[in-house]
Chain A
Amino acid sequence: MVKPRHQLTKILLLLYPALFTPLSWGIVNLGDDFEIEGFIKQMNVIQSKDFFDDAELTMQRNTAQVEGKYYFLRDGTLFNNWDNDFLDSATFTFLARGVYDSAYDIRDSYDVLKDRGKEEYKIRESFIDFVKAPYSLRIGRQQVVWGETDNFRAIDIINPLDLSWHGSRESWEDIRIPLWMARGIVDIGKIGPLDETFLEFIFIPDDFQKTKVATEYPRPWAFRGIGLQDVGANSILIDDTLHDLNVTVIDGSPSHKLSNAQGGTRFKGIWNDIDFSLNYYYGFSQTPGVKIQSAGLDDMGVFQTEVKTEFPRQHVFGATASFSEDRYTQAVYRLESSITKGVPVSISPPGSSSSLDSNGNGYDTVKQSVVMLGIDRPTWIPALNKLRTFFISTQFFWRRYLDYSPHMHGSAFYEVNPAVVDGEVVADRYVSENDDKLDQDEFVFTFSASTTYGRAGLLKPLFVFAYDPRSTGAYNKIQVEYLYSKHIVFRAEQHLYWRTSDDDIGPWGLGDYLARPGIRRNETVLTATFQF
């Protein structure tokens, strides 16, 4: 039974003036200095084996979002009354989101989740901008995006991601976790051969947050490892003897104190028509490593393990460039490169490498490099569209462990399987194994194409393809958006997950979790949005 949603009702009431005023076809002005905009959206996600075979509604996400901006200092005048020579302008911006997933009230099988992931009511972003040329400062809860890469991370690492409700498949604007921080910029301009230069500083006093994943099955994007997804390991096999397993996990997240501050700087400019940036960020890994604190059989024969999640300090050095080549290829080239020191890995089996894991805790940090080359090109394909170009964007992403060892494993992809003793499967006993052996070089290739159709360009198809040549896992998205009216937008998406060979999950989980044999799923997403 669907229960009344008081929070959602409150949001709808708040939105009422915007939704039902005749002025609400764009940003709504409330007075001269305050603007609001937003949307109400319902997104239905249906997972099925092969085009609606065994289809199930896994998500019915109802979202209300309102965004506001208050211009309280304009042209040197504060609150329209007081002259202010100190600042040129200042604004306050907020973005609030309320979410209610009604699939939780439709599906009985979600009862075990005890409403985890069902609702979210948050002021996601809230910040004040101050501008006094050549300085600007944004203070508050915000997102900061660096880099040239789309949907993969090299130096876009300031905000963690919320992968709990739909992996990384949604717009990253909606899944980045905004952080409390200060972002200051000094506009420099020309220096010698460099143009449009500026220096940017980021300071995050104590707001560490980790990348968020769901681990509670049957959440549709629960991240529980591979193999059997709906059970956890409860046993361990030692010398052909099956023991009960008891794992105690200690959260090692950095605490909220100034010594855990994070920050970075970026210098950006143009040299010979090439946009470039040099970046440095000092933060914490947002994905954990796992350090074994203790492990062994107790008096009762139970294997007791205490592990601690570690979020090591990281130094990230990065450089980006983009260049518009108009003469020969008519394309924009994007380049991003980074070196990260402090990437957590597991050493398996623990103690197997004395150089990496001298204290035998199965944990170490290593260095990693990333190179991304991207090409954007508006392209005429007259046979498919005579009026408008296709925007084609491709990326090649190469990640390499610089101090690689064959003992290195990932920290997340533990395979859970039924326990087998003497060739016999033991009922209700499950063991886990970290067989996520890391490759020194990891690759992924992406391609997307989009255009618009119709007299006013209201029909917007999009095709996305991502492929990991090592794991042969791939992901496709075919999307059509229809701007039905100034308020209403419909969208249909088909997400296809597949893998051509092998069972290697790969570092990106591209073909997984939904393409793995036995649990393979595709997704159909139908969305209706009322925007204002």
Chain B
Amino acid sequence: MNELTLHLLRRPSLHRPKCPVHFHRFPTISLALITAVLLWMPTPSYATEDQSYQALRNWIDNPPAGAPATPGQHLTLSDREAVLEALIPQAAWKYYFFDDMDMEIAATRHYPAPDDWGKTMASDYTMDEDGTLKGFTGGGFPYKDISADDPFAAQKVIWNMLWRPGANDYDMPMVTWLRGESGKLDRVMEYTSVNATYARGDNSLVPGYEEVKSKQVMEFRSPRDMAGAKDMSIRYVDHHRENSGWLYMPSQRKPRRTLASERTGELMGMDMIREDSMGFGGKIYENNWTYLGRRKVLATINVSTNPEFGGPSLWVPHKTRWEVRDTHVVLVQPKADNRPYSARIVFIDAETYWTHWMFAFDKQDDQLLRMNQHFLKYSEDYGTEPPTQAPYIKQDFSKSVGHQVFLHLGQVDINAKKPHATMTHCFTNKREFTAARAKQFYSLRNMISGRR
């Protein structure tokens, strides 16, 4: 019997059998029943939480009544029905509600965008009939206002998310833990992503590269069987143009072109697919879109530092700071039959357009297949409340102050069907590249050799 089973047996709801069993009269039968229950665990204990697509839609459309979350309050399991069920999307209850849970509530804040945000934007952009943004080159949100009755409201929310401030331009050392149930640690990985925005409204970071939206280089440093593996990807302003990617493997000592359009297979054993990136990392035109309205949710939008992980399987953020945020809720349904999901529901912050929650449902049975939830920190708080340093590199976090953007401090990705989870801490720091340095760093030349 594992720790998770023990934990679930202790849960009050499981100690309320519908058909009382008289243990003292029928010890043999009782023993058999206990054995059966143990063999049955842990799945049935979770069955009380409905994780279907329909349940989440009901939760969105008919929000349960709840008391407000008060700033300064620490919410625990005892606040579940009164407060939390109204603010945590139902598909996540199974993981986010646990015995010693502790959610610190902070006041809902206004987070100003960079001072020049929206001031260098081109104005002659359009949206075509499949919802693809044409001619937009960044520098601000393409759609300042989202109207619920706009037939393209969902796509517009996603476009704002994809062009949000702070999406790029950082050094991001990361540590990822892959855990099974009961917190069994399967793998730990260390890697660093370095990312730059090229398209900046009326100018490009590197003149002459106006077709490039952003570039990213990611390199693994552990475990040793992956150390030195390096990936470079280029996203283009033209959404219809497929991304470009190269992978350098130290064992091959050369880069290899990769197929960027394959976004639905799990990566490196992690519980995510490329299309799950920040809630939605695919192509707009490959999906049907529905705007489901606005919904208030709890979000780890401005944590003090990278949160510890709690819960019976150590899968979810614990003892960290949450804020009630107003979000746009977007339903994404793939047009093609060969996709793993029947639907994906994304909760995107209505002010900052950062994704807080994503839930994706299995095409086979409309039950939750994967979800992710993100931890962010506002750059202006780096000065007074710096986040934790990465275990393998020290950074000057003061460089982040003044940018007025959010920095991604990590995320949780859960595969509900395995079940298994991937938790990531990002030790993100702002980085501004000069044109010359960006040109050199994000180049194919830089991909032909690695740490070995």
Contact = CB atoms under 8 A, between A and B. Distances in A.
Asked if A and B bind, the verdict is yes
Interface of A: 25-27, 29, 32, 37-39, 67, 69, 88, 93, 95, 125, 131, 133-134, 136, 138, 143-147, 150, 171-173, 185, 187, 189-190, 196, 198, 200, 268-270, 273, 275, 322-324, 326-327, 330-332, 334, 376-378, 380, 387-389, 452, 454-458, 483, 486-487, 489, 531-532
A123 to B, nearest CB: 13
A188 to B, nearest CB: 9
A15 B224 CA distance: 15
Contacts of B242: 324, 326-327
A322 B221 contact: no
A138 B269 CA distance: 34
Given A145-B253, A458-B187, A458-B269, A187 B260 contact: no
Contacts of A173: 250-253
B266 A67 contact: no
Contacts of A275: 257, 444
Contacts of B222: 25-27, 37, 486
B29 to A, nearest CB: 35
A330 B265 contact: no
Most chain A CB inside 10 Å of its own CB: which residue of B180, B242, B244, B444: B444
Interface string B200-230: 0000000011000000000001111101000
Contact of A185 (B186, B262, B270, B445): B445
Contact of A378 (B252, B265, B270, B437): B265
A487 B224 CA distance: 8
Given A27-B221, A146-B254, A389-B262, 5 more contacts: A189-B208, A198-B444, A330-B262, A376-B259, A458-B186
16 contacts: A26-B224, A27-B190, A133-B437, A136-B445, A150-B252, A173-B250, A268-B445, A324-B242, A326-B259, A378-B259, A378-B262, A380-B264, A387-B266, A456-B178, A457-B269, A483-B187
B392 interface: yes
B58 interface: no
Interface in B253-311: 253-254, 256-262, 264-266, 268-270
Interface string B229-253: 0000000000000101100001111
A452 B178 CA distance: 15
B1 interface: no
Contacts of B444: 196, 198, 268-270, 275
Contacts of B394: 32
B420 interface: yes
B443 A189 contact: yes
A483 B268 CA distance: 12
A200 B443 CA distance: 14
A304 to B, nearest CB: 46
Contacts of B223: 25-26, 483, 486-487, 531
B19 interface: no
A270 B180 CA distance: 43
B338 interface: yes
B440 A69 contact: no
A475 to B, nearest CB: 19
Contacts of B178: 455-456
A148 to B, nearest CB: 8
B451 A189 contact: no
Contacts of B252: 145, 150, 172-173
A388 B265 contact: yes
Nearest to A143: B253
A37 B225 contact: no
Contacts of B244: 273, 324
Query: Interface size class for chain B?
Result: 35 or more
B246 to A, nearest CB: 8
B208 A190 contact: yes
Contact of A187 (B251, B257, B445): B445
B36 interface: no
Contacts of B21: none
Nearest to B234: A196
B188 interface: yes
A387 B392 CA distance: 31
Contact of B259 (A29, A136, A377, A457): A377
Contacts of B336: none
B190 A26 contact: yes
B47 interface: no
A263 to B, nearest CB: 17
Contacts of B188: 25-26, 486
A360 B268 CA distance: 59
A531 B257 contact: no
A136 B221 CA distance: 22
B219 to A, nearest CB: 11
B208 A67 contact: no
Contacts of A190: 208-209
Given A93-B451, A93-B452, A143-B253, A455 B186 contact: yes
Contact of B436 (A25, A133, A268): A133
A125 B450 CA distance: 13
B313 interface: no
From B190, B252, B264, residue with most partner A Cβ within 10 Å: B252
Contacts of A452: 269
B439 interface: yes
Interface in B376-432: 392, 394, 415, 418, 420
B449 interface: yes
Interface in B118-158: none
